[in-house]
Amino acid sequence: MKTEKKFNIPLDKFIEFSLYNKKFGYYMKKNPFGKKGDFITSPNISRLFSEIIAVWIVSFWKNIGSPKSFNLIELGAGNGEMMKVLIESFKKFPVFLKSSNIYIHEKSPRLIKIQKKKLKKDKIIWLRKIKNLSKRPSLFIANEFFDSMAIKQFIKLDKYWFERFVNIKDKKNAFFFDKKINMGNFEKKINFKISNNQNFIEYSESGINYLKDISKIVKKYKGGLLIIDYGYFDQKMKNTLQSIYNQNFSNILKNIGNSDITHNINFYLFKEIVKKIGGINQITTTQGNFLTKMGIKQRAEIISKNLTFLKKADLYYRLKRLVDKEQMGKLFKVMLIKNYENTFNLGF
């Protein structure tokens, strides 16, 4: 019986195994970014995205009094493309660059190697644990970071709650099953009444722990957390779990270790967690609104003046992908978490 039990694991443990197992994990053995990968993130669609984020970062730093010693941390830097463009942009703001201690927090040793190769000329510190960060004003940038965290799923049937598990005895024929749980005990553990008005729950313990730890640093040292990710604002949670294999949606239980597994962020839940911490607040918008208010279209116009017709068409095609409501513009949301007294709202 004990042998059988070890093959029955909660959904979040299954996702953690699939993505981060040292030998088999998706992020541990391949570079999923770019043309050959399973997905292309905003920084890889157009450098305009990273240039706009760079301007926003410098503006935030100025707003908090241009501290002479300042931490900038990118959470999950992918193939290093955004950080590369950020640093190139920061060179136009030498006082800011001199004041900044730049960090990357990355879990995958394979991606760290790729990042170090791309950023070898730049002064960057790779940070294993957020809590090891030096105690000074800190700004965290999380572009498609939280969606890669493992999640638990719970479903309510009649008046009972069940947690989703996966049986992996035969990896080629893995299957889901639901196990009855005491939701009260789980809520006591996470110190949050998550089941209120819900029939279905997605909850990332690792994601929420990051959110709490970073929020406490923001609260104590007057910094911020900028989250850019696909998600929704509704209070009611829904099943958003999905898998990508060879750039197509696939069965989560197939191609284990060779597929990306992700979910949509429930920004309402993030908002409630922030409220519970106290001393900090948050503002939200869509990616399309944020980039447009930050002047991405005007920046594209300036760049396009000296381009050939084909390069100009490519530039605007990429811009449309980032801001159009039918593409990433509405699907991706932006949240800024900052100190309660901080009125900075550029882009929102």
Instruction: Check pLDDT > 90 for residue 273.
Output: yes
* Amino acid identity for residue 135 in this structure: K
Residue 267 lies in a domain: yes
Q: Is 256 exposed, middle or buried (CB count within 10 Å of its CB: 0-12, 13-18, 19+)?
A: buried
**Dist. CA 50–CA 80, nearest whole Å:** 11
Q: What is the mean pLDDT of residues 176-198?
A: 95
Within 64-107, where are the H helices? 81-90, 94-99
Residue 7: predicted pLDDT: 84
Task: CATH number of the domain at 299, please.
Answer: 3.40.50.12710
> 131-135, 146-150, 177-181: which has the minimum mean pLDDT?
131-135
User: Containing domain of residue 194, as a range?
Assistant: 2-339
Residue 260 lies in a domain: yes
Structurally, the chain folds into a number of domains equal to: 1
pLDDT bucket at 5, cuts 50 / 70 / 90: low
Going by C-beta distance under 8 Å and a sequence separation of 6 or more, which residues neighbour residue 310? Answer: none
Residue 209 lies in a domain: yes
Instruction: Check pLDDT > 70 for residue 243.
Output: yes
Spell 198-222 as b/e; 16+ CB within 10 A means b.
Answer: beebbbbebbbebbeebbebbbebb
Going by C-beta distance under 8 Å and a sequence separation of 6 or more, which residues neighbour residue 285? Answer: 293, 333, 334, 347, 348
Other beta carbons within 10 angstroms of residue 158's beta carbon come to 5
Q: Mean pLDDT score of the chain, rounded to an integer?
A: 91
Instruction: Check pLDDT > 60 for residue 160.
Output: yes
Instruction: List Cα–Cα distances, 257 to 21, 170, 172, 252, 264, in angstroms.
Output: 8, 14, 12, 10, 20
Residue 274 lies in a domain: yes
pLDDT bucket at 1, cuts 50 / 70 / 90: very low
Residue 347 lies in a domain: no
pTM to 2 decimal places: 0.92
Say whether 237 sits in a helix, a strand or coil.
coil
Residue 77 lies in a domain: yes
pLDDT bucket at 37, cuts 50 / 70 / 90: low
**Dist. CA 252–CA 70, nearest whole Å:** 41
The H helix count followed by the E strand count for the chain is: 15, 16
pLDDT bucket at 252, cuts 50 / 70 / 90: confident
Residue 346 lies in a domain: no
Instruction: Check pLDDT > 90 for residue 274.
Output: yes
In contact, 346 and 291? CB cutoff 8 Å = no
Which pLDDT tens digit goes with each residue over 98-139?
999 999 999 888 889 999 999 988 889 999 999 889 899 999
